[in-house]
Amino acid sequence: MSAGERVPGRGRLFVVATPIGNLADITYRAVAVLGEVSIVAAEDTRRSGKLLAHYRITTPLVRYHEHNARRQVDVLLEKLQGGSDVALISDAGTPGIADPGYRLVRACHAAGIIVVAVPGPSALVAALSIAGVPTDRFTFEGFLPAKAKARQKRLQEKALADNTLVFYETPHRLVAALQDLAAACGPDRLLVVARELTKLHEEIFRGSVAEAAEHFATEKVKGELVLVLPAGEQEHNVSMTVALQTMLAESDLPRRDIVKMIAREYGVSGSEVYRESLKYPGRCE
């Protein structure tokens, strides 16, 4: 179990990423840590118990979730300050991403407890990696608001973002969210919906928002969902222009090489990028 230098007499908090579906998606280090710490703090001990049992890990489990976080932080801090190592895990994926794990991590930093990341699976990163959209800049928006008015307001605020947006959504709210997304961003906006990632019924839908709404309205939706929304065409073009201007101003590459790089990055024709580049003269060819 590797980590930073231990403070004498104090334990360490290990923030451990666990599989988002397929139990094989766990690192050797994560298995070792979970087996060697004194306590594993988990959102759902029944669900996490299956993971530990699969790897024959007998470390005691305690509940740490949204509804008991304030109380459990004090309990776990007492254990850590007494010298016990603790592992923090979520239901699935990386703790602290759209869950209450940050409260314990924050308290440990304040108390001088060493916090160690044991990285691994994340639905956010998994969805981005297979979406086929620009990821040089993206914003994670977490779960969309449950109430319609708040959700509509959030989507309207984000409709003109010039970077990729990522949302989590629940199955029973997906259709309503897609309808609100079509109203805010337009029915023809490209959208990628990743459902049940790494599980038996994994599905990657890629199409317009309107097509997604129609697709997922035909049957009851099950499983965890990640929505990946790239910038609209207008915002995409603005982002491309800014990148082009920056490279022309700062790079020593010839114009033709810059044009090729921008065209490849943004998926547009070289001739279109070249015409745009001529608006910014002065570079040696």
> What is residue 260's predicted lDDT score, i.e. its pLDDT?
87
pLDDT at 267: 65
Cα distance between residue 128 and residue 124, in whole Å: 6
Asked if 96 and 139 sit in the same domain, the reply is: no
Whether pLDDT at 10 is above 60: yes
Find the domain containing 42 and state its range. Answer: 12-121
87, 48: one domain: yes
The answer to whether position 3 is within a domain reads: no
Residue 285: pLDDT above 70?
A: no
Q: How sure is the predictor about 250, in pLDDT bands with cuts at 50, 70 and 90?
A: confident
> What residues are paired with 118 via a beta bridge?
16
Rounded to an integer, the average pLDDT of 51-64 is 97
| Euclidean distance between CA atoms 39 and 259, whole angstroms | 55
Structure tokens at 111: 């108390």
Q: Which amino acid is at 234?
A: Q
Using a 10 angstrom Cβ sphere, with 0-12 exposed, 13-18 middle and 19 or more buried, the burial of residue 67 is exposed
Residue 169 φ/ψ, nearest 5 degrees: -150, 155
Report if residue 152 sits inside a domain.
Answer: yes
What percentage of residues in the chain have a pLDDT greater than 70? 93
Q: Is residue 47 part of a domain?
A: yes
Mean pLDDT of 184-213: 94
* Whether pLDDT at 261 is above 90: no
Task: Fill in the DSSP letter of residue 251.
Answer: -
Residue whose structure tokens are 């594993």: 40
Number of domains composing the chain: 3
- What is the average per-residue pLDDT within 273-277? 84
Measured CA to CA, the distance from residue 221 to residue 198 in angstroms comes to 17
Distance CA 273, CA 282 (A): 16
- The rounded distance, in Å, linking the Cα atoms of 40 and 60 is 6
Res 236: pLDDT: 58
Residue 143 pLDDT greater than 80, yes or no: yes
pTM above 0.85, yes or no: no
- The whole-angstrom separation of Cα 184 and Cα 91 is 32
Q: What is the DSSP letter of 197?
A: T
Residues 223-238 have pLDDT tens digits of: 999 999 998 765 556 5
Query: What is the domain-level CATH number for residue 21?
Result: 3.40.1010.10
The stretch 122-129 carries a mean pLDDT of: 96
166 with 116, same domain: the answer is no
